[in-house]
Amino acid sequence: MKEQYIRDLSEGSRVDCPFALRSRDIRSARTGEPYLALEVADCTGRMPAVMFRPGSLDESLPIGSVVRVRGLVTTFRGVRRVTVDSLEPTDGFDPRDFLAAGTRDRDELVAELRGLVRRIKDQRIRAVVRTIFGAPGFIGRFSSCPASVGRHHAYVGGLLEHTVSVANVCLALTAAYPQADGDVLLAAALLHDVGKVDELSADTSIGLTDAGHLIGHVVLGERLLSAAIREAARPLPEQTALRLMHAVLAHHGEREWGAPRCPCTLEALLLHHADHTDAQAAAFMEAVSGAAVLEQPWSDRSNSFGRALMVPVPSAPAVPTAVVAAAGVGSQVSVGRACA
C-alpha cells in the first residue's frame, strides 16, 4: 500500500507519493508561460493538479501512467489542488492502490444477473441474451468493467452493479406499464451497456479504448446484439429483433447525449429513464459521500451537479460504509469507492 491517498490530502499537506495520471494538458498563463493542468487519482478519488514551468519530460508523461508526485496541496478558487514541484515515472506499484471497487460481492451480483436472465419468458430472447453473456471470457470482462470513466459507477464491477440495478427498475416498470413487452424491456436492460467491455479500459485508471473514442459503447453493444441475433438457432421474429435493437440504440434518450436514435417505442423510453435514473442516483450518492463523512446535512457545490445537495436523512438507505471510508475532504472532483 502507498503512504498517501487522495482522501487524506488537505490544504497544506506535503505530497510525495505515486498517483495515476488521469489527464495532462499544456496551457498558457496570462504571462504567456506554459503550465501543465493535470488530474491525479488513486482508489479513493481524484484531484486536480498544476505544474508551473514544466520540463519536456513532464510534458510527455503518458496519460494513464503512474507517476511520483511531489508538491503541496493548495486552494485555488475554492478548489483544492496539488501544486506540483516534480513528476517522475515510477513502477513497482500495486494496481489496487489506483482503482476503486464496488462494495457489493461480485459473485452475488453475477448470480443475480443470471436470475434476471432466467426471468425472460420468451426462450428465443433469453437465448440471445445468454449467447452474449455466455461467450468465452465475456462474463469475467463484464463483471470487472467500470460503468463509466467518472460520471457514475466508475469503479471495478460498476458495470455489473449498474446493469443489475437498471434491470430491476425495468421489472418494476413492466408491472406499472403492462403495455410494454416485458421480455424485450428486461433483455434490453441487461444488454444496454454490454458495449462498454470494448469501450472502457481499466488498468491504473479508467479510460477509453480506441474503439471507445471512435465508435462508442452504444454502437459497439448493438453490434454484439446483432451478431447474437444472427447466430440464434431459433430466429427472433423481425419485429421483436427490431424493438430489442432499437431499445439498445436509443437508451441514451437524446442525440446530444450520444443516442443514435431517440426512443420510439415504449420499451426504449422506459429503458432510457431507468438507465438515467440509476446513473443519476449513483452520481448523487458519490457527490454527498464527502459531506456524510463530516456529518454535514449538505454537500458543497464542487460536484458534477454544480449545486449543493442534501445528504439523505438517516431513515433513508445509508451511504455504503466503503464509500464513506473512501471519501475525504481532499477529494474535490469525485470520491472513489473502496480500493480494488
**pLDDT reported for residue 205:** 78
47: CATH: 2.40.50.140
Residue 1 in domain: no
Average pLDDT for 73-79: 90
| Separation between Cα atoms, residue 63 and residue 333, nearest integer Å | 18
Residue 305 in domain: yes
Residue 214 in domain: yes
The answer to whether 160 and 109 have CB atoms below 8 angstroms apart is yes
Average pLDDT for 112-132: 98
Interval 166-224: pLDDT, tens = 999 999 999 999 999 999 999 999 999 999 999 999 877 788 999 999 999 999 999 99
Residue 19 in domain: yes
Q: Is the Cα torsion angle 50, 335, 63, 72 positive or negative in sign?
A: positive
Coil vs helix vs strand at 10: coil
In this structure, how many other beta carbons lie within 10 angstroms of the beta carbon of residue 23? 17
| Whether residues 265 and 291 fall in one domain | no
The answer to whether 262 and 255 have CB atoms below 8 angstroms apart is yes
| Whether residues 124 and 92 fall in one domain | no
Residue 135 in domain: yes
Residue 59 in domain: yes
| Whether residues 327 and 198 fall in one domain | no
- DSSP H or E segment with residue 196: helix 196-199
Out of 34-43, 192-201, 326-335, least confident range:
326-335
Entry pTM: 0.77
Cell of residue 325, nine digits: 471510508
| Whether residues 124 and 144 fall in one domain | yes
| Whether residues 152 and 43 fall in one domain | no
| Whether residues 245 and 175 fall in one domain | yes
Residue 66 in domain: yes
| Whether residues 61 and 116 fall in one domain | no
The CA-atom distances, in angstroms, between 83 and each of 12, 24, 29, 56, 279 are 10, 14, 15, 18, 32
Residue 118 in domain: yes
Backbone angles phi, psi at 214, to 5 degrees: -90, -25
Q: Is 187 exposed, middle or buried (0-12, 13-18, 19+ CB in 10 A)?
A: buried
Domain boundary (81, 97, 113) is at 97
Range of the domain at 318: 287-339
| Separation between Cα atoms, residue 274 and residue 78, nearest integer Å | 35
Residue with cell 431459433: 234
Domain boundary (280, 299, 329) is at 280
| Separation between Cα atoms, residue 324 and residue 315, nearest integer Å | 17
| Whether residues 229 and 114 fall in one domain | yes
Interval 142-153: pLDDT, tens = 999 999 987 789
**pLDDT reported for residue 333:** 36
From the list 194, 197, 170, 151, the residue with the least C-alpha distance to 268 is 170
| Whether residues 151 and 233 fall in one domain | yes
- Asked if pLDDT for residue 317 goes beyond 80, the answer is no
234: CATH: 1.10.3210
| Whether residues 117 and 254 fall in one domain | yes
Backbone angles phi, psi at 76, to 5 degrees: -135, 120
Average pLDDT for 21-30: 90
Quote the number of domains for the chain.
Answer: 3
| Separation between Cα atoms, residue 181 and residue 11, nearest integer Å | 54
Domain boundary (280, 304, 325) is at 280
From the list 24, 159, 59, the residue with the least C-alpha distance to 101 is 159
From the list 69, 52, 151, 142, the residue with the least C-alpha distance to 106 is 142
| Whether residues 158 and 268 fall in one domain | yes
| Whether residues 266 and 296 fall in one domain | no
> What does DSSP assign to residue 147?
S
